[in-house]
Amino acid sequence: MAEVPYIAAIEMAIHGEMERDDSVLYFGQNIATTENDKFLQAFGPDRVRVTPISETAEIGMAVGAALAGYRPVVELYMAEFMLVAMDQVVNEAPRFRYMTGGQVTVPLVLKAGYGFTAGWAGQHTGTIYGMFMGVPGLRVAIPSTAADAKGLMATAIRDDNPVAYFHHYLLTLEPGEVPDGEHLVPFGEAAVRREGGDVTIVALGYMVGQALAAAERLAGEGVQAEVIDPRTLNPLDTKTILESVDKTGRLVLVDQATRHGSASAVIAGEVADEGFSSLKAPIKQVTALEATIAYSQPMEEFVLPDEDKIVGAVQQVLGQAPVGA
């Protein structure tokens, strides 16, 4: 166990999997541009390739290589760059196995950073994983800690399905304890980050940290919040969420996405559908406001969920603050 930054944990996983399995390829824009790049040095220019700014070709090529038995990891830097190649991400990679009647598998990983709400303005800050969680055949991972960043990436590379792997840019340098050597985090198993009996907070990605900070503050007021980090959106561990809601009777969801494009809306729907009788209060969602992220910092902060907004939402579902306040 060593303390390493989140981004280094992701690289450890890719490096480890490339060492373990010759069929893992790594390519994308701006990688391996110097001879002393550690991936290039370790694995050579056949397996590690810099590409032009051609997202469609990069991802399409990954599909073709995956059909031929390779396991490509595509470095996309910004999640928004995937939008350039939505045909490949949505219509080719995840549908191929099913459309061929199971003749093929398409094991590839799309590594995409998201949510860079640090003055990167309208086109590099989106929290867009919700757009992908409903695509049949596509796995979606959203690590919130350095350990999970490593473990989910290793699992993603070994998975036989295409995986959209979303890492949050504000976590990039965040250090965390990361297990040495092989470390795999299974898909579809939520982590209960904090136990509590009064309210369930399901937080996604970067919002897990915000929710834990809010939970600490609430504990000072005598409210025990249970904080759940789903870790993957597809598969989604609804069982853990429903069990927690059954215990607490109250649910607050926290997602940096705009409300109607959020994953939290889907989770809220699942709980309303499957766990309505457990609820003692309406489900409350804390999401970004319906706006493009502004450049100006106060405006950026106004739009985003934060600790205060989470505390306020918990107080509402507990009846300690008026709904709509």
Residues that bind another protein (CB under 8 A): 25, 46-47, 51-52, 54, 56-70, 72, 87-88, 91-92, 96-105, 107, 136-137, 139, 159-161
100 vs 320, beta carbon nearer another protein? 100
Beta 251-258 vs 199-203: how paired, if at all?
A: parallel
| Cα-to-chain-centroid distance, residue 149 | 9
Query: Which of 306, 190, 308 has the alpha carbon at shortest distance from 245?
Result: 190
Q: What's the farthest any 2 CA atoms get from each other in the chain?
A: 61
DSSP run (H or E) holding 49: strand 48-50
- Report in angstroms how near the CB of residue 290 gets to another protein at its nearest: 30
260 catalytic? Reply is no
CA 287 – CA 110 distance, rounded (Å): 25
Query: Which of 314, 317, 316, 294 has the alpha carbon at shortest distance from 304?
Result: 294
- Report in angstroms how near the CB of residue 77 gets to another protein at its nearest: 17
- Report in angstroms how near the CB of residue 62 gets to another protein at its nearest: 6
| Residues 212 and 218 sit within 8 Å (Cβ to Cβ) | no
| Residues 176 and 147 sit within 8 Å (Cβ to Cβ) | yes
Beta pairing partners, 200: 226, 251
124, 167, 168, 183: the active-site residue: 124
Residue appearing with tokens 């090529």: 61
59 vs 171, beta carbon nearer another protein? 59
- Which class for 49: exposed (0-12), middle (13-18), buried (19 or more C-beta within 10 A)? middle
CA 80 – CA 78 distance, rounded (Å): 5
- Report in angstroms how near the CB of residue 12 gets to another protein at its nearest: 24
- Report in angstroms how near the CB of residue 63 gets to another protein at its nearest: 5
Tell me which residues are annotated as active site. 124
